[in-house]
Amino acid sequence: MTVPSGRRERKKAATRQKIADTALRLFLERGYDAVGIRDVAAEADVAVTTLFSHFASKEALVFEQDEDFEHRLTQAVTDRAPHEPLIPALRHEVQALVRHCTADSATPIWRMVEESPALREYEESMRLRHAESLAAAITADPGLPQDTTACRAIARFVIDAYAVAREAADPETALDEIFRMIEAAWAVTRLSGTATGTAGP
């Protein structure tokens, strides 16, 4: 049982952070492919098995904040005020994420990602997970009459918006445009399923 409150947790977190920091530093210094897992472990002064008990794969070392993204997205759905419309809430959150990723401090990392097929692939599978979590959150919202298919589609569209905008020359404008498209796509799902007038806006 026991809330493991204390030193153990702190030490574990410190170890994890040290591994992540060391890895990122080495990757940026020498290139992702030129640095082996054994190098990272040695430099962070931990065993290889310890490294893998904190991170599921070499690529996961780069996308350390993965789960934050996921939580923020689903919370944008679940934590919004009653009757607050879905799409603008998502737009707001995605905009924050895009801003975070296009900040100057992040550009070396994204350049590294673009240059490594393994990292690009990993990022894509990450986004699939995010889309699925988001779809689950949207589907679970009792205030939305849409069916599962529409929710799953919209969830993917939102993740696409993030991906496309992040790579666009002008991310803010691109995001605006794509969310206009998403808004239109979402609107038509209201009309099709039920002839029942769920009263207008």
Partner DNA sequence: TCTTTAAAACCTAACCGTTAGTGTTACGGT
Partner DNA sequence: ACCGTAACACTAACGGTTAGGTTTTAAAGA
Tokens of 179: 């969310």
Binding mask 1-20 for DNA (x = CB under 7 A): xxxxxxxxx-xx--x-----
Whether 113 and 62 have beta carbons less than 8 Å apart is answered as yes
Residue 163, binding choice from a second copy, DNA, none, Cβ under 5 to 8 Å by partner class: a second copy
Residue 125, binding choice from a second copy, DNA, none, Cβ under 5 to 8 Å by partner class: a second copy
The CA radius of gyration of the chain, in Å to the nearest whole number, is 20
How far is it, in rounded angstroms, from Cα 17 to Cα 46?
12
Among 38, 114, 120, 140, binds a second copy (CB under 8 A): 120
Nearer to DNA, 29 or 104 (CB): 29
Q: Verify binding: residue 194, DNA, rule CB under 7 A.
A: no
Nearer to a second copy, 67 or 147 (CB): 147
Residue 55: partners with Cβ closer than 8 Å, 6 or more residues away: 16, 19, 20, 61
CA 122 from chain centre, in angstroms, equals 12
DSSP 79: T
How far is it, in rounded angstroms, from Cα 65 to Cα 42?
23
Q: Verify binding: residue 147, a second copy, rule CB under 8 A.
A: yes
How far is it, in rounded angstroms, from Cα 122 to Cα 59?
7
Sign, Cα dihedral of 41, 44, 47, 51: negative
Residue 92, binding choice from a second copy, DNA, none, Cβ under 5 to 8 Å by partner class: none
- The single residue listed with the structure tokens 């569209």 is 157
Applying the rule CB under 7 A, the residues between 27 and 46 that interact with DNA are 35-38, 45-46
How far is it, in rounded angstroms, from Cα 67 to Cα 172?
24
Applying the rule CB under 8 A, the residues between 80 and 119 that interact with a second copy are none
Among 17, 107, 149, 194, binds a second copy (CB under 8 A): 149
List of residues contacting DNA (CB under 7 A)? 1-9, 11-12, 15, 35-38, 45-50, 52-54, 56-59
List of residues contacting a second copy (CB under 8 A)? 120-122, 124-125, 128, 147-150, 152-154, 156-157, 160-161, 163-165, 168, 173-174, 177-178, 180-189, 192
